[in-house]
């Protein structure tokens, strides 16, 4: 009997060892995968190091030694003597900016052109001046009616014959315009120098294409201008399907020069746009070969623009007060724009600004759902100063041209750096100092992530925006990296917040390790949790509880015999990771964003009929931290560094060596504030129950609310409030 028992115990030990070997083999495979990922990251870093031999080459082919090359930067063309005098007589321009003159030279020489110039840098002149100096009609494809209206208004002020075709035209107006296009060149009285159309009009209106065909056959179609050309590409930040169909223009009007204009056309997007529109390879404007596209670019940095990121309070009331206080302290009586994410946000913000300032901030609302007449009224009142601040969605976008805008504020992050740069570019167009301030909270990530879940490069672009918001580097250098050095390489700007008043970057390796260990346990147990919920959970709030989804349990627990479905789980922080994370709510959430950026955490999406809910799970590189023991992680440093929101550089205490699980960690300076902050959060919960509004960009969004993308109404699946059983609300 005893021999039998001994054999049974031996068999059990064999089974245990076999299972342990299997587990080790699984870990080896995971570590091998991790090694590949880390090696790939190292190789990318090495390949991105700047070459010491020479600077980056311009797009295009090598420069041959031939007399056929043209230098469009010179001023010895047949029309050179007429360019500046005509610009001065028409618009009062005293001198050209950047590459304006060279672009005009290439356009008047009949070349295909791509011009990348900063917002407010004078792109419009690059086609308008050649248009009035050329014979025939210039067709301008523009994405927004508001943009075309603004440009048309300026041209008519300068007595330049222009027209605009859009859905608001009457039948008689459209017929008259098309007739004048068909008869171009026959009657000076009825001529049109510039015709603005939307891409939808080009693609869907056969009568327009037929009229342009007659114009083309008369040799009166001087050029085609594609404004905001990045909209052609799905890799661009404002992709529009009808822009991609503009390839038809090169096919039916061969030989007509095409000019592409944009402020945010990266080299990768440029290649896509060029292929779509049928443009030949690009060449340097100083050594321009025949039959190529001449590529112009100007530094995108504008020294008069001062960028800053401020921490946005979690409550809507506090956030509105912070924005109103900032406007009154820095730009009382000045013209500005405040961008909000949704239509309901704009109305609430405008009402709050008017109320908090007791009418001193005269704010109006602008979004895509307004009637056209109301949009025009708001725009005109803002232009003439009756309204000082426009609170708007991105419908108040491309082409908004008012010189004395002294500030552009964002109450929530943009979907991409491209969008953010374009929106802030509405400030300071007169060359005077202007402020561009982002009021940021980590909770913005979940709201935007759900909105861009279906976009091909949406997550990649959002990560770049989050990295910008949390970085300690010069804002100009961050833009320069993103736009591949087109901000100039002359060093830091010296005027942004990170140059003048940098925040401390703190080593939170231990806190990150604890967070990943908790995340892995929650995920393995079938848990589902939001980023804000995870931040609360690791800080010991909510009694260690989290939501468990039945089907998820069955799927993830298939190797655990007898796994039972349950509605909630529990994590023991002491047993799992040696104790809670001792950081403020804001800094814990900032740390979680950093873990997302480092692929230690990852977003997980769950689509319902009306929303895309955003949760977090372990990222592909989570094993880099979680494989370490507590003793091992205490010897590591700077694996995860995070910009904290309450300490200036040099003002904090140095990180002390950790003594063990009960140590207060590198965030020990925050421990004294945690109890007080938890009380604030409890008060927050009570106020939310009483009906207080969430902050702009928080996770509480009405189901089915429409978000806006540069003026086009798109019913997105929006982020809804999560219902994790945590006692403290997530925002």
Average pLDDT, the chain: 81
CA 247 to chain centre: 27
CB 517 within 8 A of CB 626: yes
16-46 per-position pLDDT tens digit: 778 778 777 777 877 777 777 777 777 766 6
In this prediction, residue 48 carries a pLDDT of 55
Domains present along the chain, CATH in parentheses: 79-297 (3.40.50.300), 305-503 (3.40.50.300), 506-551+566-646 (1.10.10.10)
Nearest to 227 by CA among 113, 133, 336, 137: 113
Distance CA 201, CA 164 (A): 11
In this prediction, residue 554 carries a pLDDT of 47
Q: Which two tokens stand for residue 455?
A: 């976009």
Cβ contacts of 452 within 8 Å, gap of 6 or more: 415, 458, 459, 461, 462
Binned at pLDDT 50, 70 and 90, residue 398 comes out as low
Q: What number is the average pLDDT over the span 72-98? A: 92
Q: What percent of the chain has pLDDT over 70?
A: 79
Asked if residue 730 has pLDDT above 80, the reply is no
CB 382 within 8 A of CB 335: yes
Count of all residues that appear for the chain in the document: 731
In this prediction, residue 68 carries a pLDDT of 80
Residue 730, burial from CB neighbour count under 10 angstroms (0-12, 13-18, 19+): buried
Tell me how far CA of residue 715 lies from CA of 41, 251, 280, in angstroms.
37, 34, 37
Strand 434-440 and strand 405-410: the pairing is parallel
In this prediction, residue 486 carries a pLDDT of 58
Asked if residue 77 has pLDDT above 60, the reply is yes
In this prediction, residue 236 carries a pLDDT of 58
In this prediction, residue 241 carries a pLDDT of 74
Backbone angles phi, psi at 40, to 5 degrees: -65, -40
β-partners of residue 648 are: 503
Cβ contacts of 418 within 8 Å, gap of 6 or more: 230, 236, 237, 238, 264, 461
In this prediction, residue 485 carries a pLDDT of 61
In this prediction, residue 279 carries a pLDDT of 92
In this prediction, residue 651 carries a pLDDT of 37
Asked if residue 670 has pLDDT above 80, the reply is no
CA 429 to chain centre: 21
Asked if residue 731 has pLDDT above 70, the reply is no
Distance CA 257, CA 546 (A): 61
Strands of the 282-283 sheet, one edge to the other: 162-165, 194-197, 137-141, 221-226, 258-262, 113-116, 293-297, 282-283
In this prediction, residue 87 carries a pLDDT of 94
Asked if residue 709 has pLDDT above 70, the reply is no
291-344 per-position pLDDT tens digit: 999 999 888 888 999 999 999 998 999 999 999 999 999 999 999 999 999 899
100-119 per-position pLDDT tens digit: 999 999 999 999 999 998 87
In this prediction, residue 602 carries a pLDDT of 96
In this prediction, residue 659 carries a pLDDT of 37
Distance CA 44, CA 36 (A): 12
Q: What number is the average pLDDT over the span 423-452? A: 93
In this prediction, residue 33 carries a pLDDT of 77
Asked if residue 630 has pLDDT above 60, the reply is yes
CB 413 within 8 A of CB 467: no
117-167 per-position pLDDT tens digit: 887 778 899 999 999 999 999 999 988 776 787 788 889 888 999 999 987
Backbone angles phi, psi at 348, to 5 degrees: -65, -40
In this prediction, residue 682 carries a pLDDT of 44
CB 505 within 8 A of CB 704: no
Distance CA 670, CA 652 (A): 10
Distance CA 283, CA 581 (A): 55
457-490 per-position pLDDT tens digit: 889 999 999 999 999 999 999 998 888 765 556 6
Binned at pLDDT 50, 70 and 90, residue 703 comes out as very low
């Amino acid at each position: 009997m005893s021999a039998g028992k001994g054999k049974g115990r031996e068999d059990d030990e064999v089974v245990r060892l076999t299972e342990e070997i299997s587990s080790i083999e699984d870990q080896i495979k995971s570590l091998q995968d991790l090694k590949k990922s880390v090696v790939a990251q190292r190789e990318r870093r090495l390949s991105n190091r700047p070459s010491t031999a020479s600077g980056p080459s311009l797009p295009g082919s090598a420069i041959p030694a031939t007399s056929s090359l043209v230098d469009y930067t010179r001023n010895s063309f047949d029309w050179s003597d007429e360019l500046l005098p005509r610009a001065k007589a028409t618009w009062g321009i005293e001198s050209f900016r950047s590459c304006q003159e060279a672009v005009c030279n290439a356009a008047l020489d009949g070349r295909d052109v791509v011009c990348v110039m900063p917002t407010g840098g004078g792109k419009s002149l690059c086609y308008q001046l050649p248009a009035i100096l050329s014979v025939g009609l210039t067709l301008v494809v523009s994405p927004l009616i508001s943009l075309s209206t603004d440009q048309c208004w300026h041209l008519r002020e300068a007595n330049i014959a222009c027209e605009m075709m859009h859905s608001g035209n009457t039948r008689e107006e459209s017929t008259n315009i098309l007739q004048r296009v068909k008869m171009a060149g026959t009657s000076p009285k009825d001529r049109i120098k510039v015709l603005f159309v939307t891409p939808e009009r080009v693609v869907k209106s056969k009568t327009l294409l037929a009229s342009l065909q007659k114009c083309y056959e008369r040799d009166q179609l001087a050029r085609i201008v594609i404004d905001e050309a990045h909209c052609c590409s799905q890799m661009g930040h404002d992709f529009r399907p009808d822009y991609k169909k503009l390839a038809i223009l090169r096919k039916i009007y061969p030989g007509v020069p095409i000019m592409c204009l944009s402020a945010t056309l990266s080299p990768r997007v440029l290649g896509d746009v060029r292929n779509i529109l049928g443009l030949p390879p690009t060449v340097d404007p100083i050594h321009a070969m025949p039959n190529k596209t001449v590529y112009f670019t100007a530094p995108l940095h504008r020294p008069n623009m001062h960028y800053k990121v401020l921490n946005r309070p979690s409550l809507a009331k506090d956030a509105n007060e912070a924005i109103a206080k900032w406007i009154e302290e820095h730009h009382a009586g000045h013209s500005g724009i405040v961008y909000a994410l949704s239509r309901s946000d704009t109305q609430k913000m405008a009402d709050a600004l008017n109320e908090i300032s007791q009418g001193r901030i005269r704010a109006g609302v602008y979004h895509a759902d307004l009637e056209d007449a109301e949009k025009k009224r708001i725009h005109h009142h803002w232009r003439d100063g009756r309204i000082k601040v426009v609170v708007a969605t991105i419908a108040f976008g491309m082409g908004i041209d008012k010189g004395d805008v002294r500030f552009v504020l964002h109450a929530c992050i943009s979907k991409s750096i491209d969008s953010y740069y374009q929106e802030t570019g509405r400030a300071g167009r007169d060359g005077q100092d202007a402020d561009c301030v982002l009021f940021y909270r980590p909770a913005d990530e979940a709201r935007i992530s759900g909105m861009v879940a279906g976009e091909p490069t949406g997550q990649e672009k959002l990560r770049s925006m989050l990295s910008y918001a949390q970085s300690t580097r010069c804002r100009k250098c961050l833009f320069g990296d993103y736009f591949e050095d087109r901000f100039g390489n002359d060093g830091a700007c010296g005027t942004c917040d990170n140059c003048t008043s940098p925040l401390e970057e703190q080593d939170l390796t231990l806190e990150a390790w604890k967070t990943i260990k908790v995340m892995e346990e929650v995920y393995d147990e079938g848990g589902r949790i939001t980023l804000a919920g995870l931040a609360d959970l690791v800080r010991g709030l909510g009694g260690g509880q989290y939501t468990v989804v039945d089907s998820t349990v069955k799927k993830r627990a298939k190797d655990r015999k007898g796994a039972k479905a349950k509605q909630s789980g529990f994590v023991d922080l002491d047993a799992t990771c040696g104790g809670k994370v001792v950081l403020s709510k804001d800094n814990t959430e900032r740390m979680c964003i950093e873990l997302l950026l480092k692929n230690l955490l990852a977003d997980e999406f769950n689509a319902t009929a009306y929303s895309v809910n955003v949760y977090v799970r372990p990222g592909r590189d989570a094993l880099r931290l979680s494989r370490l023991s507590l003793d091992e992680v205490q010897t590591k440093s700077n694996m995860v560094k995070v910009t904290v929101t309450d300490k200036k550089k040099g003002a904090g205490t140095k990180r002390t060596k950790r003594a063990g699980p009960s140590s207060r960690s590198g965030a020990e300076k925050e421990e004294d504030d945690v109890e007080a902050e938890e009380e604030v959060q409890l008060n927050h919960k009570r106020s939310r129950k009483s009906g207080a509004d969430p902050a702009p960009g928080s996770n509480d969004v009405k189901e089915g609310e429409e978000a806006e993308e540069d003026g086009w109404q798109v019913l997105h699946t929006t982020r809804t409030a999560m219902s994790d059983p945590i006692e403290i609300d997530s925002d």
